Amino acid sequence: MRNSSMNKQAIGIFDSGVGGLAVAQAVHQLLPSEDLLYIADSGFMPYGSKTQDEIRGRCHAIVDYMATQGAKAVVVACNTATMAAIGSLRAHYSLPIVGVEPGVKPALQQSKSGVIGVLATPSTIASQSFQRLCRQQAEDLGRIVFQPCPELAATIEALHLDGDHTEALLRRYCEPLLSQGVDVLVLGCTHYAFIAPLLRRILPSGVSLITTEQAVALQLQRRLAPSYQLGTQLGTQPSATPGRVRLLTSGDSQRFSAQLQVLWPSVENPVITPLHLSCAELG
């Protein structure tokens, strides 16, 4: 057994944009002493318009960079990237890699009607890996209705988290699901966590939401704890010094700074570093 000395290497978290900030916040809340390295790959977004090979190459380039920075684990905080690249990443790297999976099974277990809805990007819903994973999680527990939301991630990136336009979008996406008796909605894109408050206001009282950021943070904790990879041992009080949050973006740093002020305002004195990466060439 490894000794229980603390490992203060950072946990890497990345997304095509700001959606993964919801996951980063959940990790930071659960493991407040851990250092985090967050990459917003906004210069390459949207991932959904890229080929599977392009997404895999990009993900490998990001994880390569995180490995050079000493990351002890990586969270792929993007549904599209998880579906396209998680298998390849796990085969290539020895460090723990956690992806984002739709919360279909808990949604069906919670559903009274036996019908749940999944809101996701068109590319995620079109992914065979995503469809297969949903079927596996469903295990004949009920029926899943999928709804592509082509404009929603970009709307959230633009910080339109409320207002008439965003509400109209959500009503348009939800109406076909509600008409089929859906009583639980699964948010199948990490971006969507930021419009969950608006969704809860406009949905009928009998319809609940399932997001995945807390489940991802818990899975990360489970993956790291057996190997004593956490910066503080489980069952002990977190250190008085919170973990450092490093922020990088391949896109516009000023835009990312404005997004951060709205989506994660509690980060103290954030410093955003530009990141320039070329897609990895995969054999």
The whole-number average pLDDT for the span 5-16 is: 83
Q: Are residues 82 and 136 in the same domain?
A: no
Is pLDDT at 2 greater than 80 in this prediction?
no
Range of the domain at 120: 104-211
Share above pLDDT 90 across residues of the chain, in percent, rounded to a whole number: 75
Domain final position from 211, 238, 257 = 211
pTM: 0.90
Q: Alpha-carbon distance 135 to 104, whole Å?
A: 9
- Answer yes or no: is 260 within a domain: yes
What b-and-e string marks burial along 114-132, b requiring 16 or more CB atoms within 10 Å of the CB? ebbbbbbbebbbebeebee
pLDDT digits (tens, 9 = 90+) for 21-41: 999 999 999 999 999 999 999
Q: Are residues 28 and 58 in the same domain?
A: yes
Strand partners for 119: 147, 187
Specify the pLDDT at position 232.
Answer: 54
- Answer yes or no: is 158 within a domain: yes
Q: Are residues 155 and 195 in the same domain?
A: yes
Catalytic residues: 78, 189
Strand partners for 40: 15, 249
Is pLDDT at 263 greater than 90 in this prediction?
yes
pLDDT digits (tens, 9 = 90+) for 134-184: 888 888 889 999 999 999 999 999 999 999 999 999 999 999 999 999 999
CATH code of residue 110: 3.40.50.1860
The whole-number average pLDDT for the span 248-255 is: 96
pLDDT digits (tens, 9 = 90+) for 39-61: 999 999 888 888 889 999 999 99
- Answer yes or no: is 128 within a domain: yes
What is the pLDDT confidence band of residue 252, given thresholds at 50, 70 and 90? very high
CA angle 69, 75, 80 (to 5 degrees): 120
- Give the contacts of 154 (CB within 8 A, at least 6 positions apart): 46
Domain final position from 211, 245, 262 = 211
